Amino acid sequence: MDDLDGKDVLVIGLGISGRSAAAFCSDRGARVVACDEREDLPADGLPAGVDVRLGGTLPPVADFDLVVPSPGVPVDRYAGAQRAWGDIELTARALPVPIIAVTGTNGKSTTVRLIEAMLRASGLRARAAGNVGDAALELVGEPLDLAVLEVSSFQLEAIESFRPHVGVILGCTPDHLDRHGSLDAYRAVKLRLFAQQAVGDIAIVNADDDALREATETLVGERWLVSTRGPVTRGAFLNAAGIRLCTPQHTLTLPHEAEGAFRGPLAVNLLSALLAAVAVGVEPLKAYSAVADFRALPHRMETVAIVDGIRWIDDSKATNPGAAAAALGSTPGPVVWIVGGRGKGTGFAEFDDRALSHVRAVLTIGEAADEIRAAIGGRVPVEACKTLDRAVERARALAAEGDSVLLAPACASFDQFQSFEDRGDQFRALVEATR
């Protein structure tokens, strides 16, 4: 089935990954039907032979040799397909180079970009793609030594033989439960990253996540652990001197000086990226040298301004409660916390006494405001601001010198914004107006 010539292929969804999949299959001789329920999508840029069908009902999936679902398409929409491969599966089958793949609830994009920078610092031709920006299939045909893929749980639902030489799982906290149903089911999908690994492959696992550590004790591939809490026998951890690296080839300590912004919840990203680079043969000091010039992606614990001694932090990418709780734990000073948006069916159990220990006030926005208020239960003052501009206005009035104002919504953005990036950009603009 790797040979697509003459096959009937149905591509469901014409977003970035769907369009790339339609073009990829068509260029390899497949007869491609590309469908999307939306009616107003442009069909330009696709090969002339692609049969584009917008709006209307989906053709019977069993009529096709292969169905390629976009990540946003639930599994039940292509149940009964003879074979279903997402863009990650197609990419892995077409790439002739080793793959480093990263999944987890939070920190994927930062980690893959950091791995990419570390590999390039060592002179390797590497490129990151997947859920991070460019479609994974864009890497096919590139002159590469290594590919670095960000892989979501949605993409892992549509794999068959996908086998990354190095797989990284950063953590698993409640997210997308409206699709996966439960945390256990969500974790099981994430763990599919390691399902096809064999002897000689490496699985990098966040040991601070107890459930993940226990679930990965019997992997076929070699397991390397990362921890911000204490020593591990094989992997990387933080201690008073810096980063302690313990692998079959290297045992050394890297000093804290190069870490820059990689503290708090981002420390796991740094440790995981470093291990991934070392796993493919990069010298630790060469990999670590990339950190000094690395610029973290926007909207991830980004200090957008310090005004009158008040630090304004944009963590709009904290789109689930676990990410927001981690952000609170690493934010300096008393915190005025802006939270809310569209919930994902996860609940807000992470908002415990520890998370709220240095929160001065909670300012809620969006659809989930009442649910968040109920979860906090009067332990700290909560004000319903409804909109982001009102929340920023109230934060300016409530915060004192030495405080931080943190946007960590714990929710999706789509009730009031186009994306988490749009939410973060609007937050920055509102903060800039306070100067």
For 3-51, write each residue's pLDDT tens digit. Answer: 899 999 999 999 889 999 999 999 999 999 999 988 887 767 789 899 9
Amino acid present at 363: L
Nearest 5 degrees, angle CA 404-CA 413-CA 350?
Answer: 60
Active-site positions read 108, 131, 176
Please report, rounded to a whole number, the percentage of residues in the chain having pLDDT higher than 90.
79
| CA-based nearest residue to 30, from 62, 64, 61, 58 | 64
Q: Could you read off the pLDDT of 420-432 as tens digits, one per residue?
A: 999 999 999 999 9
Domain 88-289 falls in which CATH fold?
A: UDP-N-acetylmuramoyl-L-alanine:D-glutamate ligase (3.40.1190)
Reply yes or no on whether the pLDDT at 344 is more than 90.
no
Q: For position 435, what pLDDT does the model report? A: 74
What local confidence, expressed as pLDDT, does residue 11 receive? 97
Please give the class, per CATH, of domain 8-84.
alpha beta
pLDDT bin (cut points 50, 70, 90) of residue 269 is very high
The residue extents of the domains of the chain are 8-84, 88-289, 302-432
Q: Which residues 6+ apart lie within 8 Å of 212 measured at CB?
A: 169, 171, 172, 187, 191, 205, 206
CATH class, range 302-432: alpha beta
Tokens standing for residue 106: 């939070």
Asked if the model's pLDDT at residue 257 lies above 70, the reply is no
Tell me which residue has tokens 């010039």: 293
Least confident piece of the model among 53-62, 132-141, 235-244, 290-299: 290-299
* 98-102, 297-301, 360-364: least confident range: 297-301
Sign of the CA dihedral 235, 189, 186, 417? positive
Taking the alpha carbons at both ends of the chain, their separation in whole angstroms is 60
pLDDT score, position 258: 54
State pTM to two decimals: 0.85
